[in-house]
Amino acid sequence: MNENNKVLVAVDGSKQAYDTARYAAQMLAGCGARIVLYHVRMTIDEAFYDIGINPAGRQQMAGIRAWEHEQTKAADELLAKARHIMEKAGLAGERITVRAEPRKIGIARDIVKESHNGYDAVVIGRKGHHLIKGLVLGSVANKLIERLRHVTLWMVGGNPSPDKLLVGLDTSEGAMRAVDHVVATRNGYDRRQIYLMHAIRSWKTISPTILGQPDQERVAALLAEAETSIQTVFQEATRRLEKAGYKSNRIHTEIISGVESRAMAMIQYARQNEIGTLVMGRRGLSRVEDFIMGRVGHKIVNTVRNRAVWIVV
């Protein structure tokens, strides 16, 4: 990314939101992208203002005004704190814009609407903060996963390290776009390690109508064919990463065969190697169904807790 790229980081005042802001800063500090810290502020429905017309309602109106003032003050404070965290993590202050917008049609839909204003990525936390349920998976975050099909989404859980990224690859164009997104976020962070992984499912998990009942020789041939195909992908991904400045000794490739679940294979590999970020294309081999809405992506975003997941368009 460069100064022409723009990233929205949604915050709600929770600890997770501040950890998310820190993670985003660590990932984007040196790549040049502009950051918009964005907060959807709770408001009172306009209908409540009607009570101000009646003298009997003026006392209630004063309470409503005071509540709104507190909401505005709280929004300013949380955005200032998030900005400070990002600057402390290495992001230049002139690249950060803060915006607190009143809730209009709903937190998720407001974020989706804002995301159409020229953003290259949207960053959210996995869990939010009490009444501003902000970014709770199954609530706002889950809605964003479903609706943000036009822009890359980062979903951050816990306080993951930026040192290691795991990119799940297949032979689809979507997988290579995931590599390009990693390239775009490179910031000269010399310790960053990139892991390229491909998981091959066991033939036993594939419907017999697809493969029939292959013998061992047929299975071996299929595995060899799959490994040969993905090696070409690994080579191209490595070429793009090295061109962007990643050292060859910091790029690792891994093929895991015979897995029952590609999602769990990716998650387990991340756990075993203490990898903080999992990256995947939103679309896989199927053009009919979004990759993230299929079984692999769905399992990953609903299973991973203390890591970041990037869903790249």
What is the phi/psi pair of residue 7, to 5°? -125, 130
Give the pLDDT confidence score for residue 292 in this predicted structure.
Answer: 44
Sequence-distant (6+) residues with CB within 8 A of 284 are 170, 172, 174, 175, 291, 294, 296
Sequence-distant (6+) residues with CB within 8 A of 47 are none
Q: For the chain, list the strands marked E by DSSP.
A: 6-10, 34-41, 96-102, 121-125, 152-156, 164-168, 193-201, 251-259, 277-281, 308-312
Beta partners for residue 99, in sequence order: 38
Residue-wise pLDDT tens digits, 64-89: 777 777 888 999 999 999 999 999 99
Give the pLDDT confidence score for residue 110 in this predicted structure.
Answer: 94
**Locus of tokens 């995301």:** 115
134 in Cβ contact with 143 (< 8 Å): no
Total-model pTM: 0.85
DSSP 91-129: --GGGEEEEEEE-SS-HHHHHHHHHTTT-SEEEEESS-B
Give the pLDDT confidence score for residue 133 in this predicted structure.
Answer: 42
What is the phi/psi pair of residue 158, to 5°? 65, -145
Give the pLDDT confidence score for residue 250 in this predicted structure.
Answer: 95
Q: Which residues of the chain have pLDDT under 70?
A: 45-61, 128-138, 187-190, 203-215, 219, 222, 283-295, 297-298
Give the pLDDT confidence score for residue 58 in this predicted structure.
Answer: 61
Q: How far apart are CA 25 and CA 92, in angstroms?
A: 9
Residue-wise pLDDT tens digits, 257-313: 888 888 999 999 999 999 999 999 886 545 444 444 445 766 788 889 899 999 999
pLDDT, the chain, mean = 84
Beta partners for residue 255, in sequence order: 198
